[in-house]
Amino acid sequence: ALPICKSNEVCNYLGMDTITAGTTIAWAMECYEKGVLTVEDTDGVKLQFSNGDAVIEMLNKIAYRDGFGDLLAEGSQRAAQKIGNGSEEWLTTVKGMEMAMHDPRHMEPMRTSYMLAPTGGDHMRQTGDKNGLRNQVGMCHFLAYDDGQTAEIINAVTGWGIDQTEMVTTAHRGLTLARLFNMREGMTRADDRLPKRFAEDLPKHKGLAPEAMGQVVTDYYIEQGWDPQTGAPTAETLRALGIEADAVGLI
């Protein structure tokens, strides 16, 4: 437990995201244990899962872009693209963003969030309208406000007079704008997917079949008023949300 606590402290002190840093090092450790990386590649650091000191040492190397840390500072997906040799199969990234510790094979609510959050493998379930709005206004997800309390807080701060129906519309507008942004940056339905390794079974939980996860994506698109095949917001949705101008040249 001490190396974990120390690693968290190091990330906070050096201004690094604990999830991205931890997942990137875990990916590197898997590469090391499977022989894709050697101790020569890692500057003499024995990147084994049992080696807590190696995590702390590598965090410092990442922060200062020292040696092998310079590569890991790019994140696991870019590092895998450079290393190759099958290391891409061990990634746990969505849209280039590392996923957190929650395994979607036994935590069903996380599947949609990981696959469809506009920022990538996000564990805060910002794909739904309620959490989407809280995310947009900067409210803490760990505080269990109901919808009425959320509206009351927002109105007290902004003076808007927003009601619960408008809260949902506002969140939907934000999620749809994020979809348009991602489309502009070249993202497609192919980016709304879980890493391949989650199709593998766990001892007590079945793997997630790509076909079933594809249906989850289609259902979500329909729920949001987006094209069920491409995920592009429909003309009706854009008009209802008042963001037709933002889609010019994209649809």
Domain locations in the chain as residue ranges = 1-91, 108-246
Task: Determine which of 32-41, 62-71, 128-137 has the lowest per-residue pLDDT on average.
Answer: 128-137
pLDDT, tens digit, for every residue of 226-243?
Answer: 999 999 999 999 999 999
- Rounded to whole angstroms, the Cα distance separating 193 from 113 reads 10
Q: How far is C-alpha 206 from the chain's CA centre?
A: 22
Q: Is the pTM of this model over 0.95?
A: no
Question: How much is the pLDDT for 125?
Answer: 65
Question: How much is the pLDDT for 126?
Answer: 58
Provide CATH code, domain 1-91. 1.10.569.10
Question: Given pLDDT bands bounded at 50, 70 and 90, which one contains residue 161?
Answer: very high
Angle (deg, nearest 10), helices 76-83 and 18-33: 30
User: Among residues 99, 43, 106, which one has the least CA distance to residue 71?
Assistant: 43
1 close to 60: Cβ distance less than 8 angstroms? no
pLDDT greater at residue 168 or residue 87: 87
Which parts of 74-128 fold into alpha helices (H)? 76-83, 109-116
**What is the rounded average pLDDT of the residues 16-44?**
98
pLDDT, tens digit, for every residue of 63-88?
Answer: 999 999 999 999 999 999 999 999 99
Is the CATH code 1.20.1250.20 the one for domain 108-246? Answer: no
